[in-house]
Amino acid sequence: MPEKRTIPAQSENFSEWYIQVVLNSGLAEYAPVRGCMIIKPYGYALWQNIQTELDRRIRETGHLNVYFPLLIPVSFFAREAQHIEGFAKECAVVTHYRLHWDAHQQQIAPDPDAQLTEPYVIRPTSETIIWHTFRKWIQSWRDLPIKINQWANVMRWEMRPRLFLRTSEFLWQEGHTAHATRQEAEQEARQMHQMYLEFFREYLAIEPYTGWKSPRERFAGAEQTYTLEGIMRDGKALQMGTSHFLGQNFARAFDVQFTTQEGTREYVWATSWGVSTRLIGALVMAHGDDHGLRLPPRLAPIQVVIIPIWGKDEPAVEDACQQIARMLQQAGIRTHIDLDREHRPGWKFHEYELRGVPVRIVIGPKDIQQRAVEVARRDTGEKQTLPWNDQLPTAIHDLLHTIHNTLLNQYKAFQQQITVEATSFQQMAQALQDGKVVCVPWAGSDHHEEQLQEQHNVTIRCLWTDDYEEPCIVTGQKTRVRALIAPAY
């Protein structure tokens, strides 16, 4: 039986595979505006599952949710020099507050009489408006720390958009904190970085590389940027989250000082950190295969799909499906029954594989007779028959757990296998040529990094320290610092 393939093989054309999986699995589709996407119910359910757990962890670590406005006066961006340099090129600007019918052009257009005296920027990130506000909120050491978070949309007018990975508008969570001491702010930035790592491991089944960014790759306005770098199945790195130690840069830019316990005046120390809908792109590219998505069970909108095989006695089959669904739902398992009569079972098997549903249960006349169900795993494709009894929900629950671990272990094995350690520039170049990502001793400068990009089209994704010293591959200087070098999204 020839398979009707709607998506190309991953190995054939990864980029096209990615686009087709996103579109055909029902995660998202293109919007009328370039670079924007419509996040469809299935994709949004996935995002909401990410939100729910992440929000819990953010609040658990002492942060309160807030909402700041979408529009920011353009002058706010002039305050912090690096910040404006980083974002100016990609800002959408609101200049008018009214449309009118332009009789000359025969179209609706901004009313020239309704031009704003000061244009507003649609936020590309909220540091500026938040620090403008912090000035009002902070006078004394008693006002600190302030630890807030907001779930919002932001807009960055990207040159080259890509579904979920780099859309002009995207959804994210941005945390912003203010502290009395450098040490406390640094601690906060590292803590949230660690929180992301645990969340990725426990929910996305991805354990990315972690470390800090080189000065070149740092957030505009940060003193230190901590990052999480996942390696996708095509060997390219994807920045999955960041946490910035902002020093006193924004406090100085917005003149936010406080009176210490000793009565002196000091600038406030800051952090900001965030993850976005890009994580959905990471899930697709880290776990997906030729059949489509493979969603980690703790985030999957549908954890178990039940597919009936109708046979002669349809009511009996439907009833059996309902009973089992109820049993699973009562055990807290997100279960969906597909009672659609139009499509045959084979069609449905393919459909739910494309959509990455972790577990499929098939129920037909045979199963009813034997008081058993056929259970298939999306991650490995394995099928097994489980008895239809009180133990079923527990068995499925355990299976979901196993699937999570399998996905995580497969990811880790892949990441380990694609990573090579090099002790010379030559070795590194060869490994990159072979499609590997490379870990090297590094004490180079911005200049060396620029050369890497020009010559090999790769960047330093992150830096960390090892226990022993090795000579840097570009300077020969002994160093404990290691760099992960890879092509990136």
Structure tokens at 363: 């129920």
Residue of the chain from 140, 405, 453, 455 that contacts RNA (CB under 7 A): 453
CA atoms of 95 and 88, how far apart (whole Å) = 16
Instruction: Examine residue 83 and tell whether it contacts RNA (CB under 7 A).
Output: no
Comparison of 169 and 188: residue with beta carbon closer to RNA? 169
Comparison of 272 and 303: residue with beta carbon closer to RNA? 272
Helix (H, G, I), strand (E, B) or coil at 206: coil
CA atoms of 207 and 71, how far apart (whole Å) = 36
DSSP string covering 388-444, please?
-STTHHHHHHHHHHHHHHHHHHHHHHHHHHHEEE-SSHHHHHHHHHTT-EEEEE---
CA atoms of 43 and 164, how far apart (whole Å) = 10
Comparison of 236 and 298: residue with beta carbon closer to RNA? 236
Question: Segment 312-371, which members bind RNA (CB under 7 A)?
Answer: 314, 341-347, 349-351, 353-354, 362-367
Residue of the chain from 96, 135, 162, 336 that contacts RNA (CB under 7 A): 162
Nearest approach in angstroms of CB 135 to RNA is 25
Q: Is the omega angle on the peptide bond into residue 487 within 30 degrees of 0, that is, cis?
A: no
Nearest approach in angstroms of CB 36 to RNA is 8
Binding mask 27-46 for RNA (x = CB under 7 A): ---x--xxx-----------
Structure tokens at 210: 């972690």
Instruction: Examine residue 80 and tell whether it contacts RNA (CB under 7 A).
Output: no
Question: Segment 270-299, which members bind RNA (CB under 7 A)?
Answer: 274, 276-278, 291
Instruction: Examine residue 65 and tell whether it contacts RNA (CB under 7 A).
Output: no
Spell out the SS3 assignment of 310-353. Answer: CCCCHHHHHHHHHHHHHHHHHCCCCEEECCCCCCCHHHHHHHHH
Residue of the chain from 376, 392, 418, 472 that contacts RNA (CB under 7 A): 376
Nearest approach in angstroms of CB 181 to RNA is 26
Please list the helix, strand and coil fractions of the chain in percent, rounded to the nearest 5, in that order. Answer: 40, 30, 30
Comparison of 168 and 415: residue with beta carbon closer to RNA? 168
- Residue of 332, 63, 298, 301 whose CA lies nearest to 199: 298
Instruction: Examine residue 467 and tell whether it contacts RNA (CB under 7 A).
Output: no
Give yes or no for a contact between 289 and 238, defined as CB atoms under 8 angstroms apart.
Answer: no
Nearest approach in angstroms of CB 222 to RNA is 9
Nearest approach in angstroms of CB 449 to RNA is 11
Instruction: Examine residue 208 and tell whether it contacts RNA (CB under 7 A).
Output: no
Instruction: Examine residue 457 and tell whether it contacts RNA (CB under 7 A).
Output: yes
Residue of the chain from 145, 221, 230, 241 that contacts RNA (CB under 7 A): 241
- Residue of 368, 400, 401, 402 whose CA lies nearest to 387: 368
CA atoms of 357 and 354, how far apart (whole Å) = 8
Residue of the chain from 71, 88, 309, 463 that contacts RNA (CB under 7 A): 309
Instruction: Examine residue 177 and tell whether it contacts RNA (CB under 7 A).
Output: no
Binding region for RNA (CB under 7 A): 1, 3-6, 15-16, 19, 30, 33-35, 86, 89-90, 156, 158-163, 165-168, 170, 172, 219, 239-242, 274, 276-278, 291, 309-311, 314, 341-347, 349-351, 353-354, 362-367, 374, 376, 381, 383, 453, 457, 488-489
